[in-house]
Amino acid sequence: MKGLDEQIEPRETRGRGRKTSRSREVLSALEIQVVNLEESMSGVKETFEVVEGYDQIKKNHALEAMVMTLKEQIAKLKGELTIYKAVLEAFFSFMDGLNPWTKQELQRRRIKELTKSMTVAESLIELIPRKDKFEYSKPKEKGNDRGDKE
């Protein structure tokens, strides 16, 4: 109220009229300050709305960046999933093409990777005796060189 008293110019009146006049001056000065305060609050509200809008924009940009990052990760994972599906399909196709004994041996060893199963299957195939190996070891029967006729 000290600043308010300085703004009010004292009037030279006597008695009751002086007090009423003084009260009216104080009231008038207060009304002016209330109007100034309301205008200031209006400016503060506008500034607050601008700052709040800026915060929303920052949040939106952050969310957009997160969404873009997630989309990139999803695309990468989809590519990896496609590769895994192709490898798994190749593994099952490979297993379907094996003879039952080899397939059973791979399952017994719990081999689930295509490269390992191919390596083991190749080693198993090398261990299996083949008919043609035995045929080469047998002597061939030849007829008489003399040209015998029957």
Given this model, what pLDDT does residue 66 score?
Answer: 94
Give the angle 46-52-57 at the CA atoms, nearest 5°.
125
> With 0-12 CB in 10 A as exposed, 13-18 as middle and 19+ as buried, what is 117?
buried
- Read off the pLDDT of residues 26-71 as tens digits, 9 standing for 90 and up: 888 899 999 988 888 888 888 888 888 888 888 889 999 999 999 9
* Interval 74-129: pLDDT, tens: 999 999 999 989 888 887 777 777 777 777 777 788 777 666 776 777 776 665 55
Residue 99 pLDDT: 76
Is residue 1 predicted with pLDDT exceeding 80? no
